[in-house]
Amino acid sequence: MATLTVEQPKDSRRRVAGGLLDPRQLWKSTPDALRKLNPATLWRNPVMFIVEIGSVFTTVVAVLHPSVFAWLITAWLWLTVVFANLAEAVAEGRGKAQAETLRRAKTDTMARRLVGTDRVEEQVPATALQLGDIVVVEAGQIIPGDGDVIEGIASVDESAITGESAPVIRESGGDRSAVTGGTKVLSDRIVVRITQKPGESFIDRMIALVEGANRQKTPNEIALNILLASLTIIFLLAVATLQPLAIYSKSVQAFAPDSLALNRDGVTGIVLVSLLVCLIPTTIGALLSAIGIAGMDRLVQRNVLAMSGRAVEAAGDVNTLLLDKTGTITLGNRQAGEFVAVDGVTAQELADAAQLSSLADETPEGRSVVVYAKTAHGLRERTPGELAGATWVPFTAQTRMSGVDVGDRQVRKGAATAVMKWVRDHGGHPTNDVGAIVDAISGSGGTPLVVAERVGASPARALGVIHLKDVVKQGMRDRFDAMRRMGIRTVMITGDNPLTAAAIAKEAGVDDFLAEATPEDKMALIKKEQQGGKLVAMTGDGTNDAPALAQADVGVAMNTGTSAAKEAGNMVDLDSDPTKLIEIVEIGKQLLITRGALTTFSIANDIAKYFAIIPAMFAAIYPGLDTLNIMRLHSPTSAILSAVIFNAIVIVALIPLALRGVQYRPGSAASMLRRNLLVYGAGGVIVPFIGIKLIDLIIQFIPGIS
């Protein structure tokens, strides 16, 4: 599974979309949808629970007073409930497919536990391991449980968890010590201290979360459910008050003929239930759970595990993003971006010396010097025989420089103070140019590397300076501009000095930066933002990041990090890509936008149902109401049935949108609201008029409906 990067900002809208709905998923999820008809399950969704009660009532009425109209209404009311359950079952089905993949990673593993101070080895089932146990794992063996490496270093295959086939290095100490049960050691030997309790491994928690077994409703979902329940009660009272009005009107105008909609006893039970079901917000009530589950599923598709739906929602409401510079905003390794020669030295001479001194330098910076010399100055690669007699001088922390001796020529490259000392030690005198160039590069946020040479017995001389730049990832400025349009403030966190940090922040386009940052500084910044009423998101991978991850509203821990970091965060990125924090925010916003859009559509599409059902109920008594029949529906019964059928079908039609999510476009809250009202508000008004009319044109030919 390839990791998504930010190099293609134009695709950001596509990235946060989910997959298309496979029609086969509807069929596979139907048994689960039918099982959800159990009232013990359905009562958690008050809107659909009311619809089920109405379905039971109309079933009884249809049995006692059978008619084609009654049975068709009853069938479509039951289908409304089934379709609502189907939306949730399809969303859960995607999670179950993910869980099945994870279960295959859980094998019956035997662990080699070390017991006592002399570490006697014993074989025990992995399920018998307790918190704090010490186990040894060698090449070819499965790691029996989550833990931290306390001895050794090994290459580990984590494809069962991350989907990424490339092995990763896990070693004791540092921020890459955490290992996950179910992954495989490919080389060497490590000793692991178990950090999980039985049945609470990372895989166990992933399975429970993606299946939805532990999914709890978020505060926003609970609030919306309360609103929907309140609207349902209001419409229930409104419908109930129509019955006395109908009885009185029929008694006053007894000449009006009885119909399947209205007789001397008032509005028939079938029609009252139909009116109630069509007026209450069944569309959003049916899709609300599916929207939440699908939001978490979109994160799982990107190898991000959210520990709760609340974390996904919080990501959508984030006001401040804290982003580490290295690996998130920049490429992580400084690269050569310019060769600045001193007076009397040509750029070609400097490039030749810089390339020569870097040929044996295996650091990313050294390789970048060779690449830049070739691309910017056209220097060819050296042939093997050309440097057969060369003596390579490796970089050390003591000398702070590297280089090569070829024949009577000596070339050195490294830190300015170290190289200039080498020049003086070999009879040379530093020129004023070098100091000015070094200061200018340092002031711009770059790293200067001085290149010098000595030929034969002549004094050494400085040739110029290599400008190493922190390369900002392509497209980051556009992404930060988009964040800014959404009202999100971006803060770059770096250990660099303020001068360097300011230069990189300006190039990247972030709103602010925190230079020479310590873990305490991060915590203080998060608390300061939160005290101002803002939600904060950040990433981290080390034990020292754990307090800040726990404090942040959205804390994304890297899977390569320590167990403490993963326990502290409320999300884990299995690909360990800090750039994903921006995508997580986009997915969170898409979840909130989708929920708002479908709520708007659900409430707006009730308008057409008023024009369909109210005239059908009372037109016989009050002929003037026929003017409200602007759709010119065929008959009162066909109008009511058309509204009920549309009410059910629209749920199925919107399942793909609920799972995929509304297309996300960065913008202000005001622009999003305008688009929401225009597309889903106006659309929710217009679409039902068209849909109900088309259904009426078809069902008018059913015997017993006219």
State the Cα–Cα distance between residues 313 and 478, nearest whole angstrom: 24
Answer whether 55's CB lies under 8 Å from 49's CB: no
Residue 397 known to bind ligand: yes
State the Cα–Cα distance between residues 66 and 106, nearest whole angstrom: 55
Residue 410 known to bind ligand: no
Residue 401 known to bind ligand: yes
Residue 399 known to bind ligand: yes
Q: In angstroms, how far is CA 109 from the centroid of its own chain?
A: 32
Alpha helices in 465-561 (DSSP H): 476-485, 498-508, 519-531, 546-551
Query: Residue 410 forms beta bridges with which residues?
Result: 405, 454
State the Cα–Cα distance between residues 265 and 286, nearest whole angstrom: 33
State the Cα–Cα distance between residues 170 and 139, nearest whole angstrom: 13
Query: Residue 492 forms beta bridges with which residues?
Result: 323, 513
Residue 133 known to bind ligand: no
CB atoms within 10 A of CB 12: 20
Give the pair of three-digit tokens for residue 591.
């979840």
**List 146, 204, 324, 606, catalytic entry:** 324
Residue 402 known to bind ligand: yes
Give the pair of three-digit tokens for residue 28.
């596979």
Give the pair of three-digit tokens for residue 34.
């039918």
Q: In angstroms, how far is CA 420 from the centroid of its own chain?
A: 50
* Residue in this structure with the two tokens 């019964």, named with its chain if needed: 637
Residue 106 known to bind ligand: no
Report residue 185: phi and psi, to 5°: -80, 125
Residue 396 known to bind ligand: yes
Cα–Cα distance list, 145 to 109, 126, 167, 204 (Å): 9, 7, 18, 11
> Which SS3 state, helix, strand or coil, does residue 462 take?
strand
Give the pair of three-digit tokens for residue 613.
């059902």
Answer whether 698's CB lies under 8 Å from 649's CB: no
Q: In angstroms, how far is CA 218 from the centroid of its own chain?
A: 16
Note if 175 is an active site residue.
Answer: no
Q: Minimal CA–CA distance to 641: which of 48, 71, 59? A: 71
Answer whether 643's CB lies under 8 Å from 613's CB: yes
State the Cα–Cα distance between residues 518 and 560, nearest whole angstrom: 21
Residue 361 known to bind ligand: yes
Residue 383 is given by DSSP the state P
CB atoms within 10 A of CB 145: 29
Residue 400 known to bind ligand: yes
Containing 148, the helix (H) or strand (E) segment is: strand 147-157
State the Cα–Cα distance between residues 645 and 78, nearest whole angstrom: 11
Cα–Cα distance list, 281 to 26, 51, 136, 234 (Å): 23, 11, 58, 11
What CA dihedral angle connects 276, 282, 285 and 290, to 10 degrees?
Answer: 160
Q: In angstroms, how far is CA 506 from the centroid of its own chain?
A: 27
Answer whether 285's CB lies under 8 Å from 228's CB: yes
Q: What is the greatest pairwise CA distance in the chain?
A: 125
Answer whether 355's CB lies under 8 Å from 373's CB: yes
Name the residues annotated as catalytic.
Answer: 324
Known binding-site positions for ATP: 361, 365, 395-402, 413
Known binding-site positions: 361, 365, 395-402, 413, 541, 545
